[in-house]
Amino acid sequence: MDTDRSASKVATASYIQGMLAELRSMSRSIECGFLVYLIEMAHIEASDIVAGKTSQVRHKTPVEPEAGRLSADEIANLYFTGGISRADLDK
């Protein structure tokens, strides 16, 4: 990928990251936990692109969560295995 295209990709991902942060905040304010979760997944992906942590080839390395928080992969696993419910996500 050339530098102009790479810079454009990062700029676009940065814009998307900002928009997703606003959408996440709006979703939290109306207590839509699962929607917050989905938006958070997209926000993490955009953040990784901006930070240069992702490539065209997807890998299985989990995203490191903030201290004291579950990673997105851990939350998804709990949700899809029944460890937490949709009501838990809405809290």
Number of neighbours of residue 32 by Cβ within 10 angstroms = 15
pLDDT in tens, the chain (91 residues): 567 778 898 999 999 999 999 999 999 999 999 999 999 999 999 999 899 886 554 544 555 556 667 777 777 777 778 777 767 766 6
**DSSP class of residue 31?**
T
Integer Cα distance of 46 and 15 in angstroms: 9
Strands (E), 1-91: none
In angstroms, what is the C-alpha Rg of the chain? 15
pTM above 0.85, yes or no: no
Nearest Cα to Cα of residue 76 among 63, 67, 66: 63
